[in-house]
Structure 1
C-alpha cells in the first residue's frame, strides 16, 4: 500500500525509526496534534463529534484483549454500521441484513430479506409507472459500470463510506421505477482527454491521479483512496459530465443527471481530497463554456463546502459558485466556506442567480444532507431536494445538469436522486413550503449569512429587513416543539462515534442476553 501525500514524517514515527526516546515522544505528540488539526471526512464518519485526546478511539476494540473474545459481526449494506451476527436488523437504520436494496433500490423492504416482499412491490410499481407515464427522452443520464471498479482495496475496520454500492442503489431504484431504461436515455461514456483536464487542474493533480493506475492500493490523502482502476473511473466520470454539459447546452438533451463517482467538488487545482479525484462540476462548466455558454451557475448543495470548486473559479467572473453547506464555525469538514467568503463577485454586483442570468446551470448534488446520512446528520427529505431542483430548473432556460457528489446512506441517496430525476422529467415536487417552519437556530444562521451577503447582493436587502422585523414576533412555538421532537428521535449514532456505538450495542445486547438467561 502506498500513500501519496506528505505524511512521510508520520510514517517515519510509526515505523519506529526515531533514535532517542524523547525525540520519538515529541514527534509522536506532534503527529497527533497534526492529525487532530487535519480532520478528514473519514474522521468525521468514525466520530461524529470532536473527541478529547484520551477519547481517541482510532484503534478501539470492545475488549482490551481482543484475542479472548471473537465477535461475529456484519456490516449494514445501507449505512455500513457494524452489527452483531445474531441480530438480523441494523441497530442504527433498521435495515435487514439480507436487504434487497442493491437489487430494487429504496423500493426494497427495509425489514424483510430480499426474497418475496420487495420483488412483488417492485414489479407492481414498475408496471404502474410504465402504464401511466409517457416516456420522455429529453432527459439524459450518464452512467458507466466501470466506475464501480473504484473501491478501497485495503478494507479497514469498516467499509469506506464512498463505495460502489452508492451507484448500484441509485441505478436499482431508477430501474425499479421504470425511469432508466424507460423514460430517460443514457449517453455513452468516454474518458476525458488530458487537455480538457488541464483547463481545470494542474499537471501535479493529473499526474498524481494517473500514478495510482500503476499501484494496487494508494491514498492521495488519508481519506481519499485509489486502486489501479480509480484513475480511469475518474476520467470516465469527468468525460460523462463534460459530454452531458455539451449535449444539454447544444439542445441535444433538455437536461441531465450524471450518475458518477468518484465525486469531485473537493478536488482543487493541484490537490485531490475528501474522496474526490477530479472536479466533475468544474470540468462540466468548462465544457459548457466551450460549447458556447457565456455564464455558468454552479449550485452546490452537498452538506460539505466545495472548497475545490471555489478555488478553481475564485477569479473567474463568468462562473458563479453558490454553496449551501454546514459550517459550524469552521469545525465542519473541510473547515472552509464561511459566510464572508464572497470572492471576486464583490466587483460585479450581480444581485441574485436570476440577475446573473446564467446560460447554463450545474447542481453539485451531494445527498449527504439527507435524512439518515451518517456524515451530514441533517434532515433534508427527497421532497426537499425535488423542490430545490425545480427552483434551479427555472434558471438558464431549463438547461440544467445535476452531478452526483456525496451521500452515504443508500436509502437516502437513492430516494433523493430518484426524486430529483422525476423533476427533471417534468413532474412536480410534493412539497408545500407554506407548512415549513424554520427553527430559531436555522433562522439565526440565515440572518447571519444575509448580513454579510447584502453588502455584495443589494437585492437581498428586502428579505433581510423582513426577516429581521419578524425575529421578535416569529411563530417559534411550533418550531420549538418540532425541535424537541427531533431531539427525542436523534439516532444514537449522532451522539456516539461508530466504534463507541458498537461498544454501546455490545453492552446493551449483553445485558439483554443475561436477562433472557
Structure 2
C-alpha cells in the first residue's frame, strides 16, 4: 500500500519514508469498503464502477443527443470522469466534429475557450493522475504552486497566557497583576540595595594576612565568626525549566545584603578564610561513589542527580567550599577561638545521605561540621534541625551513633510531605535508639507558638540531659511566613527566640548553618534576627503566655509518649500536658454537642439564615489554600 511503496523507494525518498512511519498503513479491506460505500451513494455497486458499465457519457448521449453520434462522443467519452460533466451545458450548435486531426485540434482555433477541447484535455489529465502512484507524485520534479503564494503566510498564534515570576519567591503570576499572589511582593521590587561581596573579599584578604602574621584569635575582635565565599554563587541551574529554581544564588545575596544594611556584616562579624574540603574528610560522611559522582559534575555543563537537584560545572567546587567552611567554623568554635558562628553557605546539605544527593543537597554540611567538631575535641554533638523538611540525610548518617543527638522539627503529614521520612517512631537503631528525636507536624501553618512550645517541653529537656559540647543548627528558613514551599508561619522573632533558647546549651557554643528557605524577604530578615542573637541581643518574649495550636499540642504529646522510654525526664511534662489535652478535648466535645442541639438544618449555611449557622459553627476554613500554592509551584 502507500507506506509499502514509500519504504521501497530509493535514497531520495528515504527521509519521507522515515517520516511516514507514524502513520497507519492503508488497510485493503477498509479501502474496498469505503469504495463500495462511495459507489452505493451514487446508485451503483462497486463492480459496476470498476467495469465502467454505467458511464456519464452514455447517459448524456442517450438523453441529450438522441441518435446523433458525433465525433466527440466516441468511445473515449464512455469513461466515468468529472471532466465529462462540463458537456451537460453545451448546445448542439457548439459541438463540432473533428476528423483526421489530432486530439488537440480545434476547428474554431479557440483552444482556451473551447469547451470540447478543454474537456478532452481534462479527461487525459485525470486519466494520467489516476495511473500515478504516491511515489510518482513524490518524485514529480515540477509542481505548479503559483496560485498558492504563501510568502506572507504566518502561523496562527495559539492563545498564550502571559505570566511573570516573582523575584522574591519565584512563583508565577498572571501578567495583569502587579503584586505576587503568593508572597505579596511588588513586581518591580529590588532586593540588593547593598552589594557586600566586594567588601567581603577585601575583609577575607585582610584576615588571611593577619592569620599568616600569627593573629588567629577571633575572640579578640568578635565573638561571632561567619563563613562565606563568592564561589558558592556560581552554583546555579543552567537552563530554567517551567519556572526559576527556588534554590538560587540570590538567596545568599539577599541575606548578605540584609546583614550589610543592618551594619552587622562585615562590620561586627569576622569572616573566616574559605577552603575546599578534602576527599578524606568527605569520606568520613559519604561513600566514595557519592563523592566521585559529585566531583564528576565538574566536567559537565549541566546535570541532575534527581529531577530537582541540579549541578553545573561549578557545583562540585561550591559544595566543597560550603563543607570546608562548616568544618572550619566547628573547629574554631570548639577550640574557643570564636564563641559562635553562622555559615552563610549553599548548596544546602541536610538531605544528602551516605550514598545519595537529593532535595537540592550535594554534601551534608551539618554532618561534616559535627565530625569536625569531634575531631577538634568535642565528645558529644547536638544537631537541631528546624528546616520545614525532615533532614533524612543527617538522620541516616547518625542514626547508629549515640555521640550525636539529632532533633528535627518538620512538616510530616503522615509521610505526605517531602521527603516523607521523620515519623515520630523513627528513634534510631541499635545502641543509638532514642538519639533521633522527630517532632513531625501534622499540617501546615505551624507558627511561633508551636515551635517555642516544642522547644520548651521536648527540645530543651532532652538537650540539657544530653549535655552536648557544641550545638549545630540546620537552619532552614522555609518554615518562615510567606515561604512558597513550607507554607508555615514562623516569624523572624520566632527564629530569634529559638536561637536564644539554644544559647543556654553547651555553654553557648553554637553554629548555625543555612539550609533551606526560598522567600528572599523571609530568609534575609530571619537570618539577620538570628545573627543579632549570636552577637548578644536578647529577644523579648513572654514565655509564660505561649499557647500551642490543637494540632501542635497533639504532635508534642505523641513525641513525649514515644521518647519517654529513652528520656525519663520527660515523664512529668507528659503527664501535665496529657491532662491539659484531656480538658481541651472535653471542651471541644461539649461545644460540638451544644452546637448540634442549637443549629438548625445544614442548608441554613446557604440560605438566608447563613449568619445563624456561622454564629454557632463558625466560618468554614479554606482548605484549598495550600493546594493552590502547591499547584503554582
Paired position in structure 2 for 1:393: 503
* Residues 207 and 178 (structure 1), Cα distance of their counterparts in 2 relative to 1, 3 Å cut: same
Paired position in structure 2 for 1:469: 579
Q: Is the 8 A contact 1:305 1:336 kept in 2?
A: yes
Paired with 2:294 and 2:193, the residues of 1 have a C-alpha distance of 32
Q: Is the 8 A contact 1:81 1:498 kept in 2?
A: no
**How far apart are 1:485 and its partner, in Å?**
9.2
Paired position in structure 1 for 2:321: 236
Q: Is the 8 A contact 1:103 1:169 kept in 2?
A: no
Q: Is the 8 A contact 1:346 1:456 kept in 2?
A: no
Q: Is the 8 A contact 1:279 1:308 kept in 2?
A: yes
Q: Is the 8 A contact 2:381 2:472 kept in 1?
A: yes
Q: Deviations over 1:307-344 (max 9, x none)?
A: 10011111112111111111111111111111111114
**How far apart are 1:91 and its partner, in Å?**
2.4
Alignment of 1:167-206 (within 5 A): 167-206=252-291
2:425 matches 1:322: no
Greater relative contact order: 1 or 2 (C-alpha under 8 angstroms, separation 6 or more)? 1
2:386 matches 1:301: yes
Paired with 1:486 and 1:418, the residues of 2 have a C-alpha distance of 37
**How far apart are 1:255 and its partner, in Å?**
0.2
Q: Is the 8 A contact 1:450 1:464 kept in 2?
A: yes
* Residues 418 and 447 (structure 1), Cα distance of their counterparts in 2 relative to 1, 3 Å cut: same
SS in 1 for 2:193: helix
Indicate which of 159, 176, 181 corresponds to 1:69.
159
**How far apart are 1:439 and its partner, in Å?**
1.3
* Residues 268 and 469 (structure 1), Cα distance of their counterparts in 2 relative to 1, 3 Å cut: same
Paired with 1:193 and 1:66, the residues of 2 have a C-alpha distance of 57
**How far apart are 1:383 and its partner, in Å?**
1.0
Q: Is the 8 A contact 1:136 1:425 kept in 2?
A: no
Q: Is the 8 A contact 2:225 2:340 kept in 1?
A: yes
2:297 matches 1:212: yes
Paired position in structure 2 for 1:279: 364
- Unaligned runs of at least 5 residues, structure 2: 1-21, 25-154, 196-219, 436-460, 593-614
Paired with 2:240 and 2:620, the residues of 1 have a C-alpha distance of 34
Paired position in structure 1 for 2:98: none
* Residues 308 and 66 (structure 1), Cα distance of their counterparts in 2 relative to 1, 3 Å cut: farther
Indicate which of 172, 175, 178 corresponds to 1:85.
175
- Unaligned runs of at least 5 residues, structure 1: 1-18, 22-64, 106-134, 502-517
* Residues 416 and 269 (structure 1), Cα distance of their counterparts in 2 relative to 1, 3 Å cut: same
* Residues 493 and 262 (structure 1), Cα distance of their counterparts in 2 relative to 1, 3 Å cut: farther
Q: Deviations over 1:208-236 (max 9, x none)?
A: 10111111110011110000010000001
**How far apart are 1:141 and its partner, in Å?**
0.8
Paired position in structure 2 for 1:403: 513
Higher mean C-alpha deviation, range 75-84 or range 245-254: 75-84
**How far apart are 1:356 and its partner, in Å?**
1.1
Alignment of 1:41-120 (within 5 A): 67-103=157-193
**How far apart are 1:432 and its partner, in Å?**
2.4
**How far apart are 1:181 and its partner, in Å?**
1.4
Paired position in structure 1 for 2:343: 258
TM-score between the two structures when normalised by the length of structure 2 = 0.60
**How far apart are 1:104 and its partner, in Å?**
5.3
Paired with 1:89 and 1:496, the residues of 2 have a C-alpha distance of 17
Aligned residues: 405
**CA RMSD of superposed structures (Å):** 2.8
**How far apart are 1:346 and its partner, in Å?**
6.2
SS in 1 for 2:305: strand
Paired position in structure 1 for 2:601: none
Alignment of 1:331-410 (within 5 A): 331-344=416-429, 352-410=462-520
Higher mean C-alpha deviation, range 80-89 or range 291-300: 80-89
Paired position in structure 1 for 2:540: 430
Paired with 1:146 and 1:364, the residues of 2 have a C-alpha distance of 21
**How far apart are 1:207 and its partner, in Å?**
0.6
SS in 2 for 1:330: coil
**How far apart are 1:85 and its partner, in Å?**
3.4
Q: Is the 8 A contact 1:150 1:230 kept in 2?
A: yes
Structure with bigger gyration radius: 2
* Residues 461 and 219 (structure 1), Cα distance of their counterparts in 2 relative to 1, 3 Å cut: same
Paired with 2:557 and 2:398, the residues of 1 have a C-alpha distance of 26
Q: Deviations over 1:374-413 (max 9, x none)?
A: 1111111111111111111111111110000011111111
Q: Deviations over 1:48-98 (max 9, x none)?
A: xxxxxxxxxxxxxxxxx9941234332111111122334332222221122
Alignment of 1:30-45 (within 5 A): none
Paired with 2:620 and 2:170, the residues of 1 have a C-alpha distance of 23
